[in-house]
Amino acid sequence: MSYTVETVQIELDDRGYPIHIGAGLLNDPKSFDRVPAATSALIVSNTTVAPLYAEALRHLLESRFRNVRVLELPDGETHKDWSTLNLIFDSLLLHGCDRKTVLFALGGGVVGDMTGFAAASYMRGVPFVQVPTTLLAQVDSSVGGKTAINHPLGKNMIGAFYQPHLVLCDLTTLSTLPARELSAGLAEVIKYGPIYDLEFLDWIESHIDVLMKRDPAALAHAVKRSCEIKAEVVGQDERETGIRAILNFGHTFGHAIEAGMGYGEWLHGEAVGCGMVMAAHLSYRLGGIELEFVKRLTALIERAGLPVVAPALGAERYFELMRIDKKSEGGDIRFIVLDKPGSAQLRSAPDALVREVLEQCSSR
Ligand code: NAD
Ligand code: GLY
């Protein structure tokens, strides 16, 4: 190969797998060497990504599978639901796909989460491969085996833990990503700094401008370091009984914004970016960090092109939405907060403090 491919390994006993990161992987016949042999492959994509990349993927897979089909789902977070999921099962059954069929998720986190859930449940489980094409999916959603669809009452409420066989991050796909989606992905990159790696936070701060300009070397490092951190966390706690919860920094507030505004109105990464600002303010009020660190994080999130002021849903609506969260226990809302810069924990917080944060961070 004339280009560099980096590999990060997810260590999960017999469910471990590599994440290959490089430019041009979708044109390299060796990319799928580790995928199990089967008669059929189904590429699940959407109406935006399939016209860009499905032919290249199909071409590669045709040397390994007798039948390779492409399914184009409707695009968008609003379609991450039962009826769209069912289109995957319809296609698999219509074409007589057996239990060795391999699913390929070609797209962002929406396609990845739905394809993973379909793979987890079709004939009680078939192999699947993540081919993430957004920055957000390359640094977060394609890795670690969380799969889900939304319910009108709550984000990602129906799903399963189900690990892919392989993750293939072709960095060249990021060249066609809209600017707003690039920023959304940067939110999840930034997330790893305050919760886990202050050196990485320094690096992101000094490279945010070139990241926004899609400098290939900067993007390659951001994807690799993000995947390394996620691999370390998931390797310790696959099913989120402990440390994995820290990856939800900003998500309790963020999911409330997404659901409260109507799925798709705020991008997931935008809601997470703003949610991190809110979670940082809460961390400050709980005594974990100084106000200076809140300001530093807010400035970085803003420089990444992300919103830092939350929509005015009203405190009661926020509380109602935040109670429907997978981290809630017995109706008690729990947040990921920073107990110091570079370290996070899951805990509840007095309603009065949360109210102050909502008041301070929301638009009037
Ligand atoms: P997305 O999947 O909606 O993709 C964003 C948009 O970019 C879509 O319109 C898509 O069609 C388009 N697109 C994708 N790749 C493209 C490319 N290369 N060129 C041009 N357009 C392209 O959104 P996302 O931000 O990738 O993912 C968000 C979803 O991921 C949310 O549903 C969120 O809940 C989920 N998520 C899951 C996990 C997990 O651990 N499973 C983690 C984080 C987020
Ligand atoms: N995106 C959070 C997690 O994978 O746990």
Instruction: Name the fold adopted by 182-361.
Output: Dehydroquinate synthase-like, alpha domain (1.20.1090)
Whether ligand 1 lies within 6 angstroms of the CB of 79 is answered as no
Q: What is the pLDDT along the chain (364 residues), one digit of tens a residue?
A: 445 899 999 999 999 999 999 999 999 989 999 999 899 999 999 999 999 999 999 999 999 999 999 999 999 999 999 999 999 999 999 999 999 999 999 999 999 999 999 999 999 999 999 999 999 999 999 999 999 999 988 889 999 999 999 999 999 999 999 999 999 999 999 999 999 999 999 999 999 999 999 999 999 999 999 999 999 999 999 999 999 999 999 999 999 999 999 989 999 999 999 999 999 999 999 999 999 999 999 999 999 999 999 999 999 999 999 998 888 888 899 999 999 999 999 999 999 999 999 999 998 7
The H or E element containing residue 73 is: strand 67-73
Q: Which of 19, 188, 248, 252 to mutate to test the pocket of ligand 2 (most atoms within 8 A of CB)?
A: 248
Q: What is the pTM of this model?
A: 0.97
**Number of the ligand 1 atom closest to the C-alpha atom of 173:** 18
Q: Does domain 6-176 have CATH number 2.60.40.1840?
A: no
Those residues whose C-beta lies under 8 Å from the C-beta of residue 297, and which sit 6 or more positions away, are 190, 194, 276, 277, 280
In this structure, the residue with its CA closest to atom 3 of ligand 2 is 247
**Cα–Cα distance for residue pair 313/316, rounded to 1 Å:** 8
Task: Mark whether 188 is an active-site residue.
Answer: yes
Q: Is the CB of 181 under 6 A from ligand 1?
A: yes
Quickly count: other Cβ atoms within 10 Å of residue 188's Cβ: 28
Q: Relative to the CA of 230, which ligand 2 atom is closest? A: 4
How far is it, in rounded angstroms, from Cα 294 to Cα 168? 35
Ligand nearest to the CA of 242: 2
Domain ranges within the chain, ordered by starting residue = 6-176, 182-361
Reply yes or no on whether 230 is catalytic. Answer: yes
Question: What Å distances lie between residue 330 and 191, 249, 290, 324, CA to CA?
Answer: 27, 21, 31, 11
Residue 251 a catalytic site member: yes
